[in-house]
Amino acid sequence: MYLAKFFHRAPGDDDRELMLIPGSEPMVMGVHMNWNGEPGEDQYLREEFSGIADAAAAFRRHVAELVGAGYVETDHTKHSLRDLGPDPQAKPDWQKGLDELMILALSAPMAEQAKQIEALKGTPAEREPLYLWHAARRDYAEDDPAQAVRFAEQARDTMRARRAAGQPHYAWSLYENDLEGRILELLSDAYLAADDPEAALKTIEHLCKNAPNHDRILKRAELLCGFFPERREEAFDDAYQWSRFGGYDDILAFPGYEEYEARRKAGTSAKGWRWKPGSPASEAELSAAEQALGARLPDDYRNFLLTRGETELLVRLPKSSSELRFYAPAELTTQLRNVLDFIAHSDDELEEACAYFRKEYGVSLRHLVPIAEPSQLSRCLLLHVEPGKRYGKCFQWDHDGAWELEHEQSSFDVALKALTDGIEQRDATTLAFFDL
């Protein structure tokens, strides 16, 4: 995390960037903007500290010194910026107030943070996701989970609404995905404190799907193990795969884990796969997806969506694991657009690619719908939905061979059976699809 402030002083040939860099060895760094000297010598300040409180105090002091020397803090926030442009705008006071709240969150007790939260009430800051997150943190720390949920939900919904409308939000130098992840982590904790483990799990599973990391996977496993006995084996899966990185001691000691571990290690006779409980789709969701795609989905795949829907095929072998994630109907058009954008970077290139796929494979590229992807791999299953003799064919696709289709199967059901049979038989080609 780099928390950056930018300062302008006319005529602008000596503008400055000042950064507070938290972490195990906090640092304050100053950089000359528009540097024309020797490369790598644009730093005018570099101070290291043993604790974040000392670093924060030094950061504030250097800000005051720049302002005292006639510099004006601008509204820029991107730490990698090196040119303020011809007419930089001054940062509003409410944004400076949010910056100070972020510094306090890193370096000061909650009582001091709460004072700053109150001070920003009635300003534009209180409508920002960053403020709402800090307000939720305060209420969670003060053992008011219901109020924490309210603020965290408001922060989440505000971010999503502004993103959909193309409107900005102010989060200082925090990346949007970083702030959203922090909001959702807190929301999951607040749901649990408010005795709603189902909402807590749903929230953390959303993060594990879209922005997984060790702490989030561990949190999901703890929720599964503690509140969802019917899904406890999923927590054991995570412990088996990730416990070497720490944090899983309670799950390793949970009744039933030793038996699971022994069964997993023995695994040569086990089929090696099972289904994760999914979210079956409705006919209305299928109809909406088909309207967006401009084509009817094959019956076998429709039946899969109606019975399993958005789900995962969990692959669990003695020494390795993977998941094949099946998309919800509402995701299909987005996934198709993503693949088309990867294959072709212009309209002309897309037309060329369409002609190639038609000639080489007899399919319409615009009708090759991605329906599932192995976890954290840039490959997927494609289902061909153009009416005609190639309707319903299923293929495997990998970004490393973007103009290639592999392992053609006559239908979705046949392709799915080939995968599960291949896993059971430990077929090298099938396992390679999962990078196992």
Mean pLDDT in order along the chain per 10 residues (436 residues): 94 91 94 82 91 96 96 93 87 97 96 97 96 98 97 97 94 94 97 97 93 94 95 93 93 94 78 90 96 96 96 91 94 94 92 96 96 91 96 96 95 97 93 93
The residues near 143 (Cβ < 8 Å, ≥ 6 apart) are 193
Cβ atoms of 97 and 118 within 8 Å: the answer is no
Q: Distance of CA 385 to CAs 92, 96, 227, 364, 401, Å? A: 53, 53, 41, 9, 22
Give yes or no for a contact between 344 and 350, defined as CB atoms under 8 angstroms apart.
yes
pLDDT at 12: 81
Residue (of 75, 85, 78, 65) closest to 19 by Cα position: 78
Torsion angle, alpha carbons of 93, 99, 105, 108, to 10: -70
Compute the distance between CA of residue 330 and CA of residue 125 in angstroms, rounded to an integer.
34
User: According to the model, what pLDDT value does residue 268 have?
Assistant: 58
Same domain for 329 and 261, yes or no, is no
Q: Is residue 322 part of a domain?
A: yes
**Which pair of structure tokens corresponds to residue 332?**
């299909």
**Encoding tokens for residue 417?**
């059976």
- In this structure, the answer to whether residues 221 and 115 fall within a common structural domain is yes
Please give the pLDDT value at position 391.
97
In this structure, are 109 and 65 located in the same domain?
no
Residue 339's CB is within 10 A of a number of other CB atoms, namely 18
Give the pLDDT confidence score for residue 109 in this predicted structure: 96
Which CATH number goes with the domain that contains 409? Answer: 3.40.1580.10
Which residue segment(s) compose the domain that 392 sits in?
A: 283-433
* CATH at 107: 1.25.40.10
CB contact burial 47-57 (16+ within 10 A = b; e otherwise):
eebeebeebbe
Q: How many CB atoms lie within 10 A of CB 333?
A: 16
Cα separations in angstroms, 339 against 37, 240, 295, 402? 44, 33, 18, 9
Round to whole Å and give the CA distance between 139 and 121.
15
Q: What are the two backbone dihedrals, phi and then psi, of residue 58, each rounded to the nearest 5 degrees?
A: -65, -40
Q: Are residues 413 and 321 in the same domain?
A: yes
Residues 108 and 148 in one domain: yes
Instruction: Give the pLDDT confidence score for residue 269 in this predicted structure.
Output: 57
- As for how many domains the chain has, the answer is 3
CA distance 327 to 305: 9
